[in-house]
Structure 1
């Protein structure tokens, strides 16, 4: 009997369902379907269940689901299977997302926040395979961490472990996670955009006309993608932003290395795309601030799954759910 994993990804703009199969310590993504997230949770869950039925119907008759994993932004209650009104899903207030799938498909089903799910994927099949202590940093729309400690997922007392984006890195600076100068404020897509806008305003007030933003009216056009592309082409303002982001990333990494003593920190999304720009500043700051013995035991690497990490994250939760039964 062929054992399949099913993954459900619930996001603010899109939902996706996927199926995969594990062979040894490798995962193969077999199929995937996605659709825009409807406002009503019930509509989304019904659609996800229907699509999973379609994916399974296309598989050989000797295949069955070993587990279903659900990945969603927090806050959530993984033990009760409840999504607790994430900022990007305002209508999802205490929604039980586990029971509908468990009852419909009759298999082990589990829920984890997206950072934890990504950590599980990199630990089980990616850059952290075979390690006991791993940290995954999202570094995308926001900044969060998934923690694998002593060979198991650590979610904390009420699923709030790893909210590193809330750490204050400086008294002043771009805002993120509701806090000025936070880790997310410096190291996230929105944070990079905000930082670029602050830098542009400084230059404009000095009478300069930066190429990227020659007037205040163009501030809103500065986003992480624009800044990254401009930095790759040598733009001075964009490079200044990347330097600050890289240095703050290094300071944040140093805190994590000193506190948790991991073997590896895997960084997703923006870090993978802009590694050549961010890595030198981040590693220099990390070396200057982290305890050398702790740092010597730790590697800093981009996500093994790169831009596809989301596709494998929910499947990793399914594997985790099946193993816990």
Structure 2
């Protein structure tokens, strides 16, 4: 039994978790969640005091490692958070040293996509693999890479930024680039695509039932489009046909370049699998190398809504198994 501490740092809220892992299973023993403090120094102090309180609630726990999951960019080797867009003021903040000195255990730091990959690999849909790609497919599109049985973060923690790949010269904007993988395959990107298509339909006098007026258009969400597609709306179905095709094209690149045995996709894919899977698999068959595709399965993430808490714990487990130099 391994007792692990986890810290999940978000732009609006943070969570500190105490968990116990045994073999291929993990259990959350306790958790404190709170709004993200106004300064990084307040936050670091709160992380330490929250974890100390959780350990007092569980006197049987013998903490062995702590993991931190945070949006990038960051320097995982130095333990530095490097001004993530959702954390203003967090410029070269050492998140690792205060926790390591306070608790005397290894502390790991990874970006949220890498942390999600570790969690799915250790406890979710990627268990038992040596080569796995995890795609976030939520607010944005990022990847965590497990290659040859270990996390691959690249030279300076920038590996896996697949959302920046351009799939078309024009299209919805993601990662600051029109027509990118993230533009077509993220919550924000799908909403952009839907608004454009619906605006064209309204101009033709063919407003869809799920978005009748310009006022509705301004607040249109990916979730609404997904619900309309599941109810058979032709325009919503066509929007998801485009998304599925672009997702398949992006996956084909990953299959051909990385030759993974499993691609695990979270959030939107898991929720919209019946709509997306047939289109994705057809596109993969058309685009990817047959020998590479033949050894690769595409599956939805297995950890569901628990992935945020388990991601930080998986970073702790990774720090314990393979401590950074």
Bin for the TM-score computed over the shorter chain = over 0.9
Partner residue, 1:291: 289
Moved more, 86-95 or 261-270: 86-95
Mapped pair 1:49 → 2:45: no
Cα offset for 1:216?
A: 2.1
Contact 1:212 1:237 in 2 (8 A): no
- Give the Cα–Cα distance (whole angstroms) in 1 for the partners of residues 238 and 46 of structure 2: 45
Report the equivalent of 1:322. Answer: 320
The match for 1:40 is 39
- What stretches of structure 1 move > 3 A for 4+ residues in a row? none
Secondary structure class of the residue paired with 1:112? strand
Q: How does 1:124-203 map to 2 (within 5 A)?
A: 124-203=122-201
CA distance in 1, matches of 2:78, 2:8: 18
- For 1:128, what is the secondary structure of its paired residue? coil
Residues 116-151 of structure 1: CA deviation (Å, up to 9, x unaligned): 011111111221112110000000110000001111
Residues 262 and 298 of structure 1 are in contact (CA less than 8 Å); yes or no, is this contact kept in structure 2?
Answer: yes
Please name the residue that 1:3 is paired with: 2
Instruction: Give the Å deviation of 1:215.
Output: 2.2
TM-score, normalised by the number of residues in structure 2: 0.97
* Aligned twin of 1:21: 20
Q: Distance in 2 between matches of 1:131 and 1:144?
A: 20
Match of 1:243 among 241, 244, 248: 241
CA RMSD of aligned residues (A): 1.2
- Whether contact under 8 Å (2:2, 2:22) holds in the other structure is no
1:17-54 alpha-carbon deviations (Å, 9 max, x no partner): 11111112211121212111123111222222211111
Unaligned runs of 5+ in 2: none
Please, which runs of 5 or more residues in structure 1 have no aligned partner?
none
Q: Deviations over 1:2-28 (max 9, x none)?
A: 631011000112100111111122111
TM-score computed with the length of structure 1 as normaliser: 0.97
Compare 134-143 and 198-207 and name the one that shifted more: 198-207
